Copies of this chain bind each other. A is one copy, B any other.
Amino acid sequence: MTPQGPILVINPNSSTGVTQGLVAALAPYALPGGPAFECIDIPTSPATIATSEDVARSGLALAEIARGRPDASAFIIACFSDPGLELLRSLVPQPVLGIQEAGILTAMARADRFGIIALSERSVARHLLRIRQMGVLDRMAGEVGLSGVSALDAGTCDKVLTETLEAGRGLVRQGAGAIVLGCAGFAPRRRRIEAELGVPVIDPVQAAAVIALGAVIA
């Protein structure tokens, strides 16, 4: 294996707590001699990417970062709205993965129909646009928005966990055979949620990370 640059995992919000969660979530996938997962955030961003404007601004910030990192072997956009995904692909030669795409596609590799748990109701319509664009609408069992929680709380707050489990149970009842966690911040909760729901639960950052490994190593 040729030495390779890191897989740059960019959390486009400014929450260092979320970034630390990414580091922990990806640690188990570090191959000896393989690319490191380098996780960074964008200090000038808001703590949660919540609005369409946040998404648009972070797309350009991500482009700036990606252009400055010819050493990276791949990029992961660690925000569930996949900000800047097409943009980065048009700018840099390395593989670029979005966690919404990777999370949903990984769920589709595990079960026929997927459900999504989003941080808030207002993200649901925006996600729907992407899912229709992906051409995979017929595989979606449903999407549920939580009560408007932050990316950090998604992985750390007990009340949010309770809410998340309830949302997941509802999606399973609607026919979801796999659940996609709709934020990069959920990672610390994946195993717990999976154990409770009894169906595959996909952390979208981990999903993107292993696909990135497959892309850069051979």
Interface 9-mer from A5-13, A136-144, A160-168: A136-144
- A196, CB-defined interface residue at 8 Å: no
B residues less than 8 Å from A106 (CB atoms): 105, 211, 214
B residues less than 8 Å from A218 (CB atoms): 25, 28, 190-191, 203, 206
- A20, CB-defined interface residue at 8 Å: no
> Is B112 a contact partner of A128 (Cβ separation < 8 A)?
yes
> Is B112 a contact partner of A125 (Cβ separation < 8 A)?
yes
Closest to A88 in B: B52
- Identify the A interface with B (CB < 8 A): 1, 25, 28-32, 34, 51-53, 55-57, 59-60, 63, 84, 86-87, 89-91, 95, 97, 101-102, 105-106, 108-113, 125-126, 128-130, 132-139, 175, 177, 190-191, 200, 202-203, 206-211, 213-215, 217-218
B residues less than 8 Å from A217 (CB atoms): 28-29
B residues less than 8 Å from A111 (CB atoms): 89
Closest to A138 in B: B135
Q: How far is the CB of A10 from chain B (nearest CB, A)?
A: 16
Contact partner of A56 among B87, B139, B209, CB < 8 A? B87
The 5 A-B residue pairs whose C-beta atoms are closest, nearest first, are A133-B133, A210-B210, A135-B138, A52-B90, A210-B214
A207 and B137 CA atoms in complex are apart in Å by 23
A112 and B105 CA atoms in complex are apart in Å by 13
A84 and B138 CA atoms in complex are apart in Å by 22
In the complex, 12 of the A-B residue pairs with CB atoms within 8 angstroms, ordered by the A residue number, are: A1-B28, A25-B218, A28-B31, A28-B218, A53-B90, A56-B87, A101-B109, A105-B108, A109-B208, A109-B211, A132-B138, A209-B214
